[in-house]
Amino acid sequence: MDMVSLNIAGGILVSICRDMGVTLMRTSYSTIFSESLDFTCGLALPSGELVATGDFCPSMIGGMPLLLRSCVQEIDLAELEEGDVILHNDPYRGGLHTPEHTFFKPVFVDGALIGFSVAIGHICEVGGMAPAGFAGEATEVFHEGLRVPPVKIKRAGKDVDDVWRLLLANVRTPRYNYGDFRAMIAAVDLGERRMADLARKHGIESFREHVAALMDYSERRMRAEIAQIPDGRYTFEDYMEDDGITADAYKIRVEVVVEGDGLIVDYHGSSPQARGPINATLGVAWGAAYNAILQLTDASIPKNSGCFRPIRVLAPPGTVVNVDFPGPSVGGNTETHCRIANTVMGALAPGLRDRSAATDGASHSNFLFGGTDRRTGEFFCCYDLTPVGWGGRSFADGNDAVGGINGNCPHIPVEVFEFRYPWHVEEFRLVDGTGGPGQFRGGLSMSKTVRCTDTEMTFSYMSDRQKLSPWGIHGGQDGGRAELFIKRAGSEDWLTITQAFNKPSPSKFANVPIHPGDTIRITSPAGGGWGPVEKRDEASVREDLLDGFITPEQAVEIYGLRP
């Protein structure tokens, strides 16, 4: 097959996925979709193999192959009808965590099943012990909301009302969930139409040949990339600082074995499963490995199941990288995913020095709250993510205050945040001096200070990196840690959550009461530095000083700048 045809076919498939994502964003009700784009969309074969995906949320891109593979083993394909839509969020069957809902719709042409249109997205409110999910003190999946094994939410084009009733009866914001579900269905409807149109236009056989060739091409490209890494066994370790229940740290250990044009990511040696909700599901363990490899290889490789064929992931069950039922896992997809992905990248750094990077802040500092709207009496929920600093790279400083490497999710703009929720944003800024020093500095963290205006709320949080710093690499130094403080109305004292509420973890907790006038300050972690500070260009140090990105003390004491 000629490369022109292949590239056109690949481009069309990806553009379908992007259009699906835009549809989802524009028709959704919740800010986690409309502003933060915490979703992705894809097309798959009846076998569950991923054909194409939109470049939205990396954790979901890497998670889709296992999720789809699991689902098609539980569905009787012979019983699928045109117009069916299947819903799934089960963390133990390929899912990522309970909020991550996947809608997939079979695509038929002339009665033949040619694939699936898929939308996966983070539903803000899923029931469970804390509004807006992310119960930082959950100890079992039943605290984390309603679990949905693959079920038909639409059958032959008609809503399955009993399933809708069941889903919406178990959440605090049924109207928003309804709207967001409809947005995801609109996305898979669009993907189904476009995929079917494409197959009809070129014929089913031609469609299948192009898709197969596209996946083979991706596999060849990925194998060529891996072949450039020297054969060997590369190891690295990092830690989650606690699990929300006790103060114990949890180890992520990885050994990456490179042999020729394939590699094996082996997590054996990682800590046993945690009591608290930091456990990764198997889908997260796969997705994090894929995410890391995609970060280190040519970004132009088409992202489909073909490029994942040379990568094998081993995640022992009952550990922090492969949770067993009924263990909790809601934080595994945001906090532990990035820790795992960075651990894989850290392991390969010696073999891929020019493409390596220090760790990013590797936490989304997930800010969750909910309460009853004083004007309407309707319950509202919100999930906002906080940008982090990225790690320094072999050729540039880390990006300042952007979404973590597994999310690619923007924070909610201040104007939207203040309009939709009862908070006043008092401050929103880069935090100077936080980037890990190095030849290439880590990206700066950011700080957001918000004051509750007029509504009683509950506040939950899922974060990390308050005790253990983001690491530098190749001689680079650590980045700044995260912080979280609360100031009660009428008080001048900034307290940690442990000081204020006696919570075991300062970074993972559920249902702290918030009253009007209370103020919260969230500071995200920064990126680590790359290379020794002695090699940093003096002009860059002076520029950082002028920009306020480093402090005068750092310029002198760390970088040795002379006045």
Q: Which residues bind other proteins (CB under 8 A)?
A: 70, 73-74, 92-94, 149, 264, 266, 268, 282, 285, 312-317, 321-322, 324-326
Shortest spacing between CB 160 and other proteins, in angstroms? 17
Q: Which is nearer to other proteins, 336 or 366 (CB)?
A: 336
**Can you tell me the distance from the alpha carbon of 438 to that of 527, in angstroms, rounded to the nearest whole number?**
11
**Can you tell me the distance from the alpha carbon of 53 to that of 42, in angstroms, rounded to the nearest whole number?**
4
Residues 6+ apart with CB under 8 A from 547: none
Amino acid at 131: P
Shortest spacing between CB 75 and other proteins, in angstroms? 12
406 closest CA partner among 307, 284, 270:
284
**Can you tell me the distance from the alpha carbon of 135 to that of 148, in angstroms, rounded to the nearest whole number?**
18
Q: Copy the structure tokens of residue 173.
A: 């914001």
Shortest spacing between CB 292 and other proteins, in angstroms? 17
Distance of CA 296 to the CA centre of its chain: 17
Q: Which is nearer to other proteins, 46 or 410 (CB)?
A: 46
Q: Which is nearer to other proteins, 198 or 313 (CB)?
A: 313
145 closest CA partner among 494, 460, 484, 384:
460
Shortest spacing between CB 325 and other proteins, in angstroms? 5
Q: Which is nearer to other proteins, 324 or 427 (CB)?
A: 324
Shortest spacing between CB 104 and other proteins, in angstroms? 18
Q: Put the strands of the sheet holding 151-155 in their side by side order.
A: 50-53, 39-44, 112-122, 100-109, 85-88, 151-155, 158-159
Q: Copy the structure tokens of residue 341.
A: 């992905």
Q: Which is nearer to other proteins, 95 or 506 (CB)?
A: 95
Shortest spacing between CB 96 and other proteins, in angstroms? 15
Q: Copy the structure tokens of residue 38.
A: 């915490």
Among the residues of 414-518, which ranges form H helices?
414-420, 497-501
Q: Which is nearer to other proteins, 145 or 370 (CB)?
A: 145
**Can you tell me the distance from the alpha carbon of 540 to that of 95, in angstroms, rounded to the nearest whole number?**
44
**Can you tell me the distance from the alpha carbon of 24 to that of 184, in angstroms, rounded to the nearest whole number?**
6
Q: Which is nearer to other proteins, 149 or 516 (CB)?
A: 149
Shortest spacing between CB 315 and other proteins, in angstroms? 4
Amino acid at 90: D
Shortest spacing between CB 87 and other proteins, in angstroms? 16
> Is 287 within 8 Å of 61 (Cβ atoms)?
yes
Q: Which is nearer to other proteins, 91 or 371 (CB)?
A: 91
